[in-house]
Amino acid sequence: MLVKVHMRIFLLTLLLCGSSLISLEAQTPDGVMDRSFDQELYDEQIRLTELMYWAQYGDSTFDRNDANYLFIRGLVRSLRIDGAFDFPFDSLRFISKLYTPDRKYRIFTWQVKQEMGTMRHFGCILTNEKPARVIPLLDRSDEFLGRDDTTFNHKSWYGAAYFQVVPEIKKVKGVTYYTLIGYDQHEPFSRRKMIELLWFDKQGVAHFGAPLFQTPKGTKHRYYIEYAADVTAQLRYEASIQRIVFDNLVPRHAENTGYGYDDVPDGSFNAFVWKKSKWMYQDNVDVRMPEQTPKVKADPNKKSGLQKP
């Protein structure tokens, strides 16, 4: 109980006094103050960095969620400051900060550990307009576990921490789709990676998922792989071959077929390739570099410093 009281006192003190701290982020490598952004953004970043640390490493679920609640309030406040869309937030760890290829949107996502080793995801989308809009993402994946046949909106988000955006925009029947690749620590025994489609309707409402994945099990709205927690599985977009490549997974034990917690990579790869206005599944692909690398569009997230899980 005493630890929780101290935790709250620390967080409140941080919020009240953080603006008096010296911002190392506000200086260039030569020690010259960078005036290209509002000083308020640097001050907010200091507070956010501390809060996110406690949201990840707090002693209890209560402490982590308490810090995360204050982090969300601070992040929303920061994103409403002029210049926030281009501000790097480069001292913020444990949070993904991605731009869509056309730089119309910026997507922030992260996860916080809950009881029994499960994860809850949090996020928001910042629009590049004046005035900017902050669209909250509300994780309801526990209610829609495994649903790959449904489109959700931002109020019923199938949560993930997105670590990559496919640099090519896909347009189908006048709708612009952004392809996101994300990670879900999921639970103690298994992990997930997924391919998700983000799009906006005419009213500017964010939606996730669309029937644009042609798989061996039919048309899906999103695609995910689940694998054992003690192994690493790949799922990422490879610009050199212009495909979304992922490990082929097999169960360690035949009796566990269909249960992702026992699946491991077998050394082969599958892929999705964009054809006929859909992501088409390809089995057992060669992922070696082609002799001539095709030209690809510049990725606005290349310099983000994000590490792919």
Q: pLDDT tens, 144-203?
A: 777 899 999 999 999 999 999 999 999 999 999 999 999 999 889 999 999 999 999 999
Residue 15 covered by a domain: yes
Distance, in Å, from the CA atom of 306 to the CA atom of 168, rounded to the nearest integer, reads 19
Query: What is the model's pLDDT at position 30?
Result: 45
pTM: predicted TM-score of the whole model, two decimal places = 0.84
Q: Is the pLDDT of residue 291 over 90?
A: no
Residue 58 covered by a domain: yes
Place of tokens 């960078």: 34
Residue 12 covered by a domain: yes
The total number of structural domains that make up the chain: 1
Please report how many Cα atoms fall inside a 13 Å half-sphere around the Cα of residue 194, on the Cβ side: 26
Question: What is the domain range of residue 66?
Answer: 1-93
Residue 60 covered by a domain: yes
The pLDDT of 16-25, averaged and rounded, is: 37
The identity of residue 276, as a single letter, is: K
Query: Regarding beta strands 170-172 and 206-208, do their DSSP bridges make them parallel or antiparallel, or are they unpaired?
Result: unpaired
Band (pLDDT 50/70/90 cuts) for residue 33 is very low
The identity of residue 309, as a single letter, is: P
pLDDT 10s digits, 106-159: 999 999 999 988 899 999 999 999 999 999 999 998 887 778 999 999 999 999
Query: What is the model's pLDDT at position 304?
Result: 47
Query: What is the model's pLDDT at position 141?
Result: 86
Band (pLDDT 50/70/90 cuts) for residue 251 is very high
Q: Is the pLDDT of residue 13 over 60?
A: no
pLDDT 10s digits, 75-93: 999 999 999 999 999 999 9
Distance, in Å, from the CA atom of 58 to the CA atom of 8, rounded to the nearest integer, reads 11
Residue 43 covered by a domain: yes
Residue 34 covered by a domain: yes
Q: Rounded mean pLDDT of the chain?
A: 87
Q: Is the pLDDT of residue 307 over 60?
A: no
Q: Is the pLDDT of residue 309 over 80?
A: no
Token pair in block for residue 170: 């896909």
Helix (H, G, I), strand (E, B) or coil at 11: helix
Token pair in block for residue 122: 């949090």
Cross-strand partners of 172? 175
How far is the CA of 24 from the CAs of 52, 88, 95, in angstroms? 18, 14, 20
Cross-strand partners of 184? 192
Band (pLDDT 50/70/90 cuts) for residue 98 is very high
Residue 230 covered by a domain: no
Token pair in block for residue 16: 């009240």
What count of residues does the chain have? 309
Band (pLDDT 50/70/90 cuts) for residue 12 is very low
Q: Is the pLDDT of residue 99 over 50?
A: yes
Query: What is the model's pLDDT at position 294?
Result: 53
Q: Which of 96-110, 143-157, 287-301 has the lowest mean pLDDT?
A: 287-301
Distance, in Å, from the CA atom of 56 to the CA atom of 200, rounded to the nearest integer, reads 31
Band (pLDDT 50/70/90 cuts) for residue 281 is very high
Residue 150 covered by a domain: no
Q: Is the pLDDT of residue 250 over 70?
A: yes
Band (pLDDT 50/70/90 cuts) for residue 3 is very low
How far is the CA of 119 from the CAs of 1, 116, 129, 171, in angstroms? 24, 9, 32, 33
Instruction: State percent of the chain over pLDDT 90.
Output: 73
Band (pLDDT 50/70/90 cuts) for residue 267 is very high
